[in-house]
Amino acid sequence: MACCAVALLWITYLRAGIPVRLDSLSAFVFFATLFQYTLHRFLALRKHKNSDNEILKWTAENQFLFVMLAIISGGMCANLSFHLTRDTFFLLLFLGTLSLLYELPVFRQDDKQMRLRDIWFFKIILITLVWSCTTAVLPYLQYELNIYSTSFIVLLIQKIALVFIVALAFDIRDMEYDRRDQVITIPIRFGLIRVRKLIIILTALCILTGFTHALWLSPFSMPLILTAQLSPLFSYYIITLAYRYPIDLFFIVAVDGILAVEFIFAMLLKLIF
């Protein structure tokens, strides 16, 4: 997941003309995602102690490893924060707060502890907001680029559509758990048929905005232009496979991997062209 976050960040670098390298922002995003992931696993283990889920079982058997990952990633984030611009730091502080509220049961309703993700459609809204801002807005703030330009708006829309697609796929997988926890999600509220139609529409939006952005900024860059068309189609194919194979390992490897597909395609096509 942390590598996918960096890959999604680096495709913004490519499109914005920022040199792709492991800079302080990329490292921060990597370790912050790793910290959030370990926190998520710990809280999931605490909530579902007797679950038969293989991932939770593995987490329970390797708790020391997760503790060390949390300490290392948290420490690295603290150190790297001194190398970020002020605007980048404050936006990250806001996004980090949302991420913690997404996981921690700090709200109470009807004598029941609730996380922010348990309220209405906040689960998918928060995921889309945090990931889109992290991978689209932060690079522009860190390198002081124009966030009011039309090209940035098009790029942001493409990121939102892509992250929303992946979040919808996970909501489909988690329908049984969400029903049990009384969490209202889009698949539960509107049904699978409508959600699949929505995914098709969002995929088309990804293709349109990605192609427009690539053609606008780099009309002679064949890798970026082809990537803008091929990666959403490949991602949609992965989503259709997820309908058939709704297992955790497939989602962790393949569906999460959708976030890295565009960058991988761009690098491969650069080698060809």
Tell me which residue range forms the domain holding 34: 2-272
Residue 55 scores a pLDDT above 70: no
> How distant, in Å, are the alpha carbons of 35, 41, 121, 220, 238 from that of 69?
7, 12, 30, 43, 29
What percentage of the chain reaches a pLDDT higher than 90? 34
Distance separating alpha carbons of residues 26 and 24, to the nearest angstrom: 6
**pTM summary value:** 0.86
Distance separating alpha carbons of residues 135 and 175, to the nearest angstrom: 27
Q: Which of 41-55, 185-199, 226-240 has the lowest mean pLDDT?
A: 41-55
Between 117 and 231, the more confident residue is 231
- Could you give the number of structural domains in the chain? 1
Residue 184 scores a pLDDT above 70: yes
Crossing angle of helices 192-217 and 222-244, rounded to 10°: 170
Place of tokens 């539960």: 188
CATH number of 253's domain: 1.10.600
Distance separating alpha carbons of residues 256 and 250, to the nearest angstrom: 9
Q: What is the pLDDT of residue 10?
A: 94
Q: How sure is the predictor about 54, in pLDDT bands with cuts at 50, 70 and 90? A: low
User: Which tens digits make up the pLDDT trace of 251-265?
Assistant: 777 777 888 888 888
**Cβ contacts of 34 within 8 Å, gap of 6 or more:** 1, 2, 69, 73
Crossing angle of helices 86-103 and 122-132, rounded to 10°: 160
Q: What is the pLDDT of residue 28?
A: 96
